[in-house]
């Protein structure tokens, strides 16, 4: 399941601030993605969000499908909401419920002055995995929750704001970062490239397996805006993809 949530957190799978040109424009995003690894369908992910008058709210679900779904059932349900300013997204509430097929977990984060607090869910009392050193939420001010970070990358948006995301994620225990560093245009499409990097709170085995995940996001026009159509991530397991239907 971590490979799945890691891909989604990249938004390209699994990020202190959003560096974008101006505040995100109002609008609604409703998308469904196939999640694939080395060409094999793992499952389906939905993303539904709205930016309206300085506020945003977003929900995302994932469930296994195809061959994987026949063998193991896993999924998640995530919700987030907060404010949008000229500098980007500022989360206020984040809830997650995750079922890996072997273990169910949940977390609730609330933010005050940009600083997250864990106020409930199994994460509040969870025992760290061997080798993991959870981070202190009080020191994670300015970070985004995983779903807000995904929304920052995948929401329908004007072409002028693409490829400018620089986001740090805190999920209640670990810190990571998504940075977009390249932009290419092909006809009416825009391809952004960048990387997802594990920073702190991960076990030694996770850091040894892979620390940096290069990724690209392909956007094309739709509904008067640019829509994320394909996210490709290079992982130690092979090429992982989000493909919009």
Query: If we measure between CA atoms, which residue out of 47, 65, 64, 51 comes closest to residue 11?
Result: 47
Task: Write the burial class of residue 23 (CB in 10 Å: 0-12 exposed, 13-18 middle, 19+ buried).
Answer: middle
List the pLDDT tens digit at each of the 245 positions of the chain.
Answer: 344 444 444 333 432 223 333 456 678 899 999 988 888 888 889 999 999 989 999 999 988 876 555 456 778 899 999 999 888 899 999 999 988 777 788 899 999 999 999 998 887 777 777 766 778 999 999 999 999 998 988 999 999 889 988 889 999 888 999 899 999 999 999 999 999 999 998 888 888 888 999 999 999 999 889 999 999 988 888 888 999 99
Domain boundaries, the chain: 2-244
* pTM of the entire predicted model: 0.86
């Amino acid at each position: 399941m971590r490979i799945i949530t890691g891909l989604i957190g990249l938004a390209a799978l699994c990020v202190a601030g959003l560096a974008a040109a101006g505040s995100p424009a109002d609008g609604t995003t409703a998308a469904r993605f196939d999640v694939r690894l080395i060409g094999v369908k793992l499952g389906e992910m939905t993303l539904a969000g709205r930016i309206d008058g300085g506020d945003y709210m977003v929900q995302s679900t994932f469930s296994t499908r195809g061959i994987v779904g026949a063998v193991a059932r896993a999924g998640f349900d995530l919700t987030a909401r907060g404010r949008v300013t000229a500098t980007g997204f500022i989360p206020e509430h984040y809830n997650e419920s995750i079922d890996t097929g072997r273990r169910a977990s949940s977390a609730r984060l609330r933010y005050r002055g940009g600083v997250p607090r864990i106020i409930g869910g199994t994460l509040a009392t969870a025992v760290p995995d061997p080798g993991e050193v959870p981070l202190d939420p009080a020191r994670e001010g300015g970070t985004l929750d995983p779903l807000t970070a995904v929304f920052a990358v995948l929401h329908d948006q004007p072409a002028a704001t693409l490829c400018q995301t620089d986001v740090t994620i805190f999920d209640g225990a670990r810190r990571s970062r998504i940075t977009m560093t390249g932009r290419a245009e092909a006809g009416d499409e825009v391809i952004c490239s960048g990387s997802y990097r594990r920073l702190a709170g991960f076990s030694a085995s996770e850091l040894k397996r892979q620390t940096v995940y290069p990724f690209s996001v392909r956007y094309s026009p739709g509904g008067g805006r640019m829509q994320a159509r394909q996210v490709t991530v290079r992982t130690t397991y092979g090429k992982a993809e989000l493909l919009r239907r």
